[in-house]
Amino acid sequence: MKFKTLFSTLISIVLFSSMTFAQLTLLTGPEQGSYYRFGQDIVSVIGSDPGNAIFNQVTSGAAYNFNQLIDPNSSYKIALIQSDYLYYMQALDYRDNLEKTKPIKVVLPLANEEIHIVTKANSDLKKLQDLGKMKNGDQRMNVAIGTQDQGTYATANLIKDRSQIFWASRNIHFDDVMHELFMDRIDAFIMVGSAPLQKLDLNPQALIEEIALIELENFNDWAKYYDNDTIYTTDYKWLETNVPTFSVKTLLIVNESKLTEDDKKAIHKLKMGIQNKFDILKETGHPKWKEVDLFDWTDSEWPMYK
Fold exhibited by the domain 114-247: D-Maltodextrin-Binding Protein; domain 2 (3.40.190)
Question: pTM (2 decimals)?
Answer: 0.88
Beta strands in 131-187 (DSSP E): 134-135, 139-140, 142-144, 168-170
Rounded to 10°, the helix 261-276/34-45 angle is 90
Q: How far apart are CA 110 and CA 121, in angstroms?
A: 32
CATH 3.40.190.10 intervals, the chain? 22-112+249-291, 114-247
- Say how far apart CA 160 and CA 69 lie, in whole Å: 27
Tens digit of each residue's pLDDT, the chain (306 residues)? 444 444 444 444 344 333 334 579 999 999 989 999 999 999 999 986 666 789 999 999 999 999 999 999 999 999 999 999 999 999 999 999 999 999 999 999 999 999 999 999 999 999 999 999 998 878 999 999 999 999 999 999 999 999 999 999 999 988 899 999 999 999 999 999 999 999 999 999 988 899 999 999 998 999 999 999 999 999 999 999 999 999 999 999 999 999 999 999 999 999 999 999 999 999 999 999 999 999 999 999 999 998
Given a contact cutoff of 8 angstroms between Cβ atoms, the answer to whether 166 and 134 are in contact is: no
* Collapsed DSSP state (helix, strand, coil) of residue 224: coil
> Domain 22-112+249-291: which topology?
D-Maltodextrin-Binding Protein; domain 2 (3.40.190)
Using the 8-state DSSP alphabet, how is residue 184 labeled? T
The DSSP 8-state label assigned to residue 132 in this structure reads G
